[in-house]
Amino acid sequence: MKKHLLLIGGGHAHMVTLANLDKFIDKGFAVTVIQPSEYHYYSGMGPGMLGGTYSADDIRFATRKLVESKGGAFILGKAYRIDPSKQCVYLEDSAEEIHYDVLSCNAGSFVPQSELVQGEVRNVFTAKPIEALLAAKDTILTLCKNKDITIGIVGSGPSSLEIAGNIHQLCRQQAENMPVIRVFAGQNFMSGRPTKIRRLARTILENKGIKIVDSGYVEKITEGSLVLENGGTFQADIIFPAVGVKPSLIFARSGLPIGPDGGLQVNDYLQSIRYSNIFGGGDCIYFESHPLDKVGVYAVRQNPVLYANLMACLEEKPLEQFSPGGTYLLIYNLGDGDGIFSKWSFTFSGKFAFKIKDYIDRKFIRAFQ
């Protein structure tokens, strides 16, 4: 029987592995990819898709088509649990066992909203999966047709910033009525970021007429409203929880060693600390020697090492070490062509900042599309 490489998710850390999938096939290995969508969406351009700068096709990779064209198999589904002793993966709602010899996990992260959202609440859209932003865009434009609405974005970080700015762009360009847009930023908008970034982010949003509420954290989201922990209540027709992300729950559910955030605990080879034939990359791992920010930059940097180590593990050769590298470039897309650029201590805002991001993102996506 051929040795089987199984990939959970075709995310940012699996791009090089997917691009070289035919090399595994040529060497006599079988490869299967499990993913809940036939496409993988590039999150860096997700807010721009919400704002109407990009179409869905501009920002997605046709995972199924790529995998099948290179001789692999594609399973449309959600990996639910891993049984490392049997070396198999179970899908959600299925007892079928998908066997592997080597497993690589790039299942990303999700926005935990269960603590905030009370019961069945309509028109709540999380920042992840990125596909959800497509449905959000349609809902915004539909509701803005008939009445003056309010949109609430809950969160004080970059996702919240980018979503707010791009909703403004979308509505300015396409909506019949301009909504009220409020960002519920707890007590400190863009906390943990350098002072200059925080000042620029606030000024740019406020100049667009976006209101930043930083008088307290949101305690619960109910149908049509947000309640703050200080008792303040705000009406909102559409709500975006953008309260940070947590790694996929697959690993905790499977009893694999995980880090404090619930991510698959991996060593310097991006390999599970307990199971030598399980690897991972991107937001779903906890890199034990140097815990990493949940940014796409690290997933992208992990690509060559993950690819090399999956091949090496199948061929029983030595593994390569991953080094996270130094500081990374951050550019935020605030909609209406505005961006904030930041690297080392160098920070500036304006149209040129967004142009740089647009150029880098389009180049990245073209390379792998």
- Cβ 137 vs Cβ 39: under 8 Å: no
Q: Is residue 342 involved in binding ligand FAD (CB under 6 A)?
A: no
User: What is the nearest approach in angstroms of ligand FAD to the Cβ of residue 231?
Assistant: 30
User: What is the H or E stretch that residue 156 is in?
Assistant: none
Helix (H, G, I), strand (E, B) or coil at 202: helix
Q: Is residue 197 involved in binding ligand FAD (CB under 6 A)?
A: no
Among 3, 20, 25, 36, binds ligand FAD (CB under 6 A): 36
Q: Is residue 78 involved in binding ligand FAD (CB under 6 A)?
A: yes
Tokens coding 24: 């595994």
| 244 residue type, one letter | G
Among 24, 32, 40, 154, binds ligand FAD (CB under 6 A): 40
Q: Is residue 159 involved in binding ligand FAD (CB under 6 A)?
A: yes
Q: Is residue 294 involved in binding ligand FAD (CB under 6 A)?
A: yes
* Three-state secondary structure string covering 58-107: HHEECHHHHHHHCCCEEEECCEEEEECCCCEEEECCCCCEEECCEEEECC
- Cβ 231 vs Cβ 202: under 8 Å: no
With contacts defined by CB under 6 A, name the span among 31-39, 136-144, 173-181, 304-312 that binds ligand FAD: 31-39
User: What is the nearest approach in angstroms of ligand FAD to the Cβ of residue 106?
Assistant: 5
Closer to ligand FAD by CB, 233 or 348: give it: 348
Q: Would you give the binding string for ligand FAD spanning residues 243-262, x where CB under 6 A is met?
A: -----x-x------------
Q: Is residue 113 involved in binding ligand FAD (CB under 6 A)?
A: no
Q: Is residue 35 involved in binding ligand FAD (CB under 6 A)?
A: yes
Terminal CA-CA length for the chain: 32
Tokens coding 84: 């490392």
Q: Is residue 75 involved in binding ligand FAD (CB under 6 A)?
A: no
Q: Is residue 106 involved in binding ligand FAD (CB under 6 A)?
A: yes
Helix (H, G, I), strand (E, B) or coil at 299: helix
- CA separation, residue 271 to residues 6, 102, 265 (Å): 14, 11, 8
Closer to ligand FAD by CB, 16 or 228: give it: 16
The residue sitting closest to ligand FAD, measured at its beta carbon, is 282
Number of residues that bind ligand FAD (CB under 6 A): 36
- Cβ 271 vs Cβ 308: under 8 Å: no
Residue 277's closest CA among 4, 1, 61, 2?
Answer: 4
Contact residues: ligand FAD, CB under 6 A: 8-13, 34-37, 40, 43-44, 46-47, 78-79, 106-109, 127-129, 159, 162, 248, 250, 282-284, 294-297, 299
